[in-house]
Amino acid sequence: MEIGGAERALLGLLNAIDPEQVDVDLFINQHTGEFMSLIPAYINLLPEDKRYSSIERPITSVLREGNIDIVFARIFARIMHRIYRMRHNSLSPVDASIFYYVAKYTTPLLPSLKKFGKYDLAISFLTPHHIVRNKVNASKKVAWIHTDYSTVSVNAITELPIWESFNNIISISPDVTSAFLKTFPSLRNKIIEIENIISPAFVKEQSLLDIPEEYDSDYIIICSVGRFCDAKNYDNIPFIAKILRDKGLKFKWYIIGYGDRSLIDRNIHTTNTDDCVILLGKKDNPYPYIANCDIYAQPSRYEGKSVTVREAQILQRPVIVTNYPTASSQVKDGIDGIICNMDNTSIADAIYRMATDKSMRDTLSAYLASHDFGNENEITKVYDLIRL
């Protein structure tokens, strides 16, 4: 339960559930991360199993625990994936097929979860979907899509049987559905769309619990929240910041998240922007940082449906997003945010225009304040899955 969009979406789902209507068991591979403490008390958190966490943890720690078979399975998965890559050298740079191979060779080694009983509905909220498919006893099983499949490569031939084995496939937006069906057109009849559930009350309550000491009112404050990974495009922020500084803008750009920060740090050093690009790392509660910024920026290369963008809109912050394929599914350009081209100059120009035009920011904030971005009623679609 690290800080991330999918994890926030899971918390939204869990918080929207009415414990008077359903009993929920939650199985998580690793009981780690800042969001563990936010799991509602009425959710029955099943005990952690080290065999399950060993499919993700560093191989050295798995070896120390004696799970040699899983180590060999993970190594073999890498070999098979490398062979696949060699045979398909036209793959997208964002290759998600590795997750299938790891799941294929490690799942048979994991203990069954059927000892917890038979469920009316089992939800595979994140990959690998092999676990719910093979290890859980349930009358009905569904798998969730969080990824924009137009931006990643997968081995569709080998993955299709996994998706086919589920009663339904849950997509978080029409754009995500469209991209998924271009890869798996035969699965159209299994798709049900359920938006990421976000509670405005929860987001607003969390935003009032702190005041960011790092923020300086003498500067335009830009905030971005997300993992340090290729999808978020944070490695280009130093170059965007340099353009903004050269334009004479007085600003600070704060980035909250975790992951491999080496490329971002290197680019900060290259551009000499350490005075205006600040990596804050993880924050248990990022909402005060979003609520108190002047501009929320999401310069992503791709997204499924950005949870943090919706949270920024709930907190009435002017948002700027790049024109990744699913951007228009949650931002109406010029109305509740700005969509700009993905190149660094266009992003910098959009930020500069918004930063120097307070009336634009006020107009966007006023529109956001007058609209309800909550969608807790999406939980009824989950209840319907049990009844269907």
Mean pLDDT for back-to-back runs of 10 residues, the chain (388 residues): 84 92 95 88 95 89 90 94 79 72 94 96 93 96 89 86 96 90 95 91 91 94 93 96 97 94 96 97 91 97 87 97 90 95 97 97 96 88 87
Reduce the DSSP state of residue 324 to 3 states and report it: coil
* Amino acid in the structure at residue 149: Y
Q: Where are the beta strands (DSSP E) in the chain?
A: 25-26, 44-45, 118-119, 122-124, 137-138, 141-145, 168-171, 191-193, 220-225, 251-256, 277-281, 295-298, 319-322, 338-340
Query: What pLDDT is attached to residue 339?
Result: 97
Segment (H or E) for 232? none
Reduce the DSSP state of residue 30 to 3 states and report it: coil
C-alpha–C-alpha distance, residues 4 and 258, integer Å:
9
Reduce the DSSP state of residue 278 to 3 states and report it: strand
Query: What pLDDT is attached to residue 71?
Result: 94
> Helix crossing, 307-314 with 5-16: angle to 10°?
60
CATH of 5-198+379-387, one of 3.90.550, 3.40.50, 3.10.450, 3.30.43: 3.40.50
Nearest to 80 by CA among 110, 57, 103: 103
Reduce the DSSP state of residue 4 to 3 states and report it: coil
Sign of the four-CA dihedral 329, 312, 152, 343: positive
CA 272 → CA 2, 184, 252, distances in Å?
30, 45, 14
C-alpha–C-alpha distance, residues 365 and 370, integer Å:
9
Q: Look-up: residue for tokens 């599914």?
A: 329
Every domain range in the chain assigned CATH 3.40.50.2000: 200-369
Query: What pLDDT is attached to residue 388?
Result: 63
Segment (H or E) for 215? none
Which 8-state DSSP code applies to residue 115?
G
Query: What pLDDT is attached to residue 94?
Result: 64
Q: Considering the domain delimited by 200-369, tell me its CATH architecture.
A: 3-Layer(aba) Sandwich (3.40)
Determine contact, residues 181/148, Cβ cutoff 8 Å.
Answer: no
Query: What pLDDT is attached to residue 93?
Result: 53
* Amino acid in the structure at residue 325: P
Determine contact, residues 160/181, Cβ cutoff 8 Å.
Answer: no
Q: What pTM was computed for the model?
A: 0.81
Segment (H or E) for 136? none
**DSSP-derived secondary structure for 149-167:** TTS-B--HHHHHHHHHTSS
49 burial level (CB within 10 Å; 0-12, 13-18, 19+):
middle
CA 234 → CA 52, 57, 199, 264, distances in Å?
31, 24, 27, 7
* Amino acid in the structure at residue 175: D
60 burial level (CB within 10 Å; 0-12, 13-18, 19+):
exposed
